Amino acid sequence: MTTISTGRMISHPFGNANEGQVCWRPAKSIWAGVMMAVALVFGPLTFSWSGFTLFVITTAITICAGHSVGMHRLLIHRSFRTSKLVERVLVYLGTLVGMAGPFGMIYAYDIRDWAQRQTICHDLYAHRRSFFVDAWWQMHCAVALKHPPAFVIEPEVANDGFYRFLERTWMAQQLPWMLLFYLLGGWGWVVWGTAVRISVSLTGHWLIGHFAHRGGHQGWAVDNVAVQGYNIPKAAVVTFGESFHGNHHAFPGSARLGLERGQIDLGWNFIQLLMWLGIASAVKLPENMMPREGLRRL
């Protein structure tokens, strides 16, 4: 197979994105399983409109400002620039989503992107398996490749003391907020502001990944790669633009994901707000980027 290096993932001559074994990851699995169990059992028992409102607000902030803008578009793809303080705040909010620390998120995105750019890749990276198998694999397992690429994070990020701290303590970062929620609203706020929020975020992230790699609207195709991306317009609002994954495959470094007329991208709108405030600059968009190799308009 052709080996392709993508940024932090550096292929070697025997690099292979297909040969590997799916392995259970206990810490990842227990974390996701406990959050889901608490949400399913205690969510209905502790429901209140104030708790539900807390869930909606905290989910919107952590997914939009944190995950979509801070982790994905800024830290992982460097689609715009901002001050180190603002960057750290956004990445911190992304850590509160409960998926991983900053280094773990970079690795998860980059290894999948590297694998999908090959001519053939493992079924896990392509979301090819059935609905429930893919759910188990994505939220409870990982692929141990026989010949993985080297993973090198740029020193500016790898040596950042705050990011190193977040990486070591990303699960524990929920604790101060759980205490605050308990003091303000009791156990119901803890359940809805933490367990329900995290379980919905984790499940939603997997669902978008599952369906956005299997079919849907596609404005562009990329030739000679193992996996195509597709857009899911109906999920645009609740994913803050992340469901336009076909557009993202076409222009991975773009700060704007909703590229077609009528495509709602609230993450991009948040970046526009940062630009208006003078906080964001050097914004990457399709018109000022080099098109990726093999890109073809449909």
Residue 15 has what pLDDT? 84
Q: Give yes or no for a contact between 77 and 248, defined as CB atoms under 8 angstroms apart.
A: no
Residue 7 has what pLDDT? 81
Kindly list the distances between the CA atom of residue 6 and the CA atoms of 11, 39, 117, in Å, as whole numbers in the listed order. 8, 38, 9
Predicted confidence (pLDDT) per residue in 43-60, tens digit? 999 999 999 999 999 999
Residue 99 has what pLDDT? 98
Give kind and range of the element (H or E) at residue 297.
strand 295-297
Residues of the chain with pLDDT under 50: 1-2
Residue 12 has what pLDDT? 82
Nearest-Å Rg of the Cα atoms of the chain is: 19
Whole-prediction pTM: 0.95
Residue 2 has what pLDDT? 47
The whole-angstrom separation of Cα 47 and Cα 53 is 10
What residue type is assigned to position 147 of the chain? H
Residue 172 CA from chain centroid, whole number? 20
The whole-angstrom separation of Cα 138 and Cα 196 is 19
Written as one string, the DSSP assignment of 122-180 is -HHHHT-S-HHHHHHHHHHEEEEESSPPEE---HHHHT-HHHHHHHHHTTTTHHHHHHH
What residue type is assigned to position 25 of the chain? R
For the chain, helix, strand, coil in percent to 5 are: 55, 10, 35
Residue 20 has what pLDDT? 97
The whole-angstrom separation of Cα 203 and Cα 39 is 12
